[in-house]
Amino acid sequence: MSHSGYKGKSLEFLEKNKIEVGNMVRVKADSTYSGILMPRYEYSDDDHIVLKLKNGYNIGLQIEKIIQIEIESHPSVKKENTTQPQTDPKLPKILLISTGGTIASRIDYRTGGVSPALTAAELNASVPEISKIANIDTEVLFSEYSENLLPEHWRKIAEKLNSYSRSEYKGIIVAHGTDTMQYTAAALSFSLSGFPKPVALVGSQRSSDRPSSDASLNLISAARFLVETNTNGIFVVMHNSISDDEIACHWGTRVRKNHTSKRNAFQTIGGSPVFIVKKDTIEKNPLFCPSEKPYNPKINFDSQVMLMKYYPGFDPKLVDHAINSGYKAIIFEGTGLGHVGKVMYESILRAKRKGLFIGMTSQCIDGIVRMTVYDSGRDLLNLGVIPLGNMIPETALVKAMWALGNTKDINEMEKIMQENIALEISD
């Protein structure tokens, strides 16, 4: 029998009642529940069983409080319409590259789990509205949770996009987990600066088995954005509010994930989204002027960069550790206008003498670094710390990795970090 993840008392309970993972069961406890018995992860306790209810949410039930449990039905595979979508020669073509995440997914009716829809046929079954917007080709690059992505993954995505820079596709969707999507967006913005097509990184805060899922609408809106706007560059396309009224298209270097679970977790820092997708229209931010730089891909990254958030009590030995460990650049998240305490000065001076790049951002969510206002800021400028305007700290980290990957000269790196490559410094 299948009891994936169950052990001890919970396993004995299931075996005694001849219940398997994937069974539709009715449980009488403090109330009566009906749902699919879900597998459990390997570190779970042995006091509970987990059901996926018909509304898509999971619930844990304590075994000692269960009065009765019975099987309503055995697992079966629900057949879906996974026919290949019809190609309409009148519609433009879009490529969807999957890197992981749950932007388009289906329920596995044997286990109640969610699996990604990766083929054109599966995508058509999950989000049939897409086939009325464009002809979609799909490609799986890799399948990883976004917290597992490294600069080498950014390079693979950038190289794949570069291979389609002169293709017939109107635009490209990159399905991506939300946790590190802002880092990938920044990496692509720098390495593919001037990319001649629009690229939409799309994620989902809530998986498609939940009634509040944002997966389908984010994907549909991204397809509309690519088809209906005449623009280019790297964007993050996600909900603009907790409702389904608006989907925001954020510029790739000015976006940040500001909430763990809300559907509108992503926000443009220092301004408004560059496009808003509504039911019948797509509105452009009149202040948005995309870069007209020629396309000149530079797809290299060097991860020997450290992001340090300064705080009262910060140990300056951490800077010395970075020096001794071979790091070549440090990005500070300073306080206010771009400050760190004077206890840091000697270590920063040693880092500069060793040839490290030291950049300053602010840990404030919005606003610009101005290091000439107070003595402490001027002292840091005198030590060689480079102010980075209103660049988001995570964007500055990625830019430093990219700059370091394309030059080993500290003076050249300082010039690159202060140059507005991909609208990472906004007015």
Percent of the chain with pLDDT over 70: 89
The pLDDT confidence band at residue 142, using thresholds 50, 70 and 90, is confident
28 has catalytic annotation = no
Q: What is the CA radius of gyration of the chain?
A: 25
Q: CA-based angle 322:324:326, to the nearest 5?
A: 70
257 has catalytic annotation = yes
Q: Cα 103 to chain center, whole Å?
A: 11
179 has catalytic annotation = yes
399 has catalytic annotation = no
Give me the pLDDT at residue 271, please: 93
Q: pLDDT tens digit string along 368-400?
A: 999 999 999 999 999 999 999 999 999 999 999
Q: CB–CB of 186/424 below 8 Å?
A: yes
Full-model pTM: 0.86
DSSP state letter for 69:
E
Give me the pLDDT at residue 109, please: 45
Residue 377 pairs in a beta bridge with none
The pLDDT confidence band at residue 151, using thresholds 50, 70 and 90, is very high
Contacts of 362 (CB under 8 A, 6+ apart): 333, 334, 335, 336, 337, 338, 368, 369, 390, 393
Find the catalytic residue in 99, 111, 178, 361: 178
Q: pLDDT tens digit string along 11-50?
A: 999 999 999 988 999 999 999 999 989 888 666 788 999 9
Domains of the chain, earliest start first: 8-73 (2.30.30.520), 93-284 (3.40.50.1170), 305-418 (3.40.50.40)
Q: pLDDT tens digit string along 226-236?
A: 999 999 999 99
Find the catalytic residue in 197, 257, 328, 399: 257
DSSP state letter for 335:
B
Find the catalytic residue in 52, 99, 102, 395: 102
As given in the structure block, the two tokens for residue 102 are 């749950």
Find the catalytic residue in 179, 244, 302, 320: 179
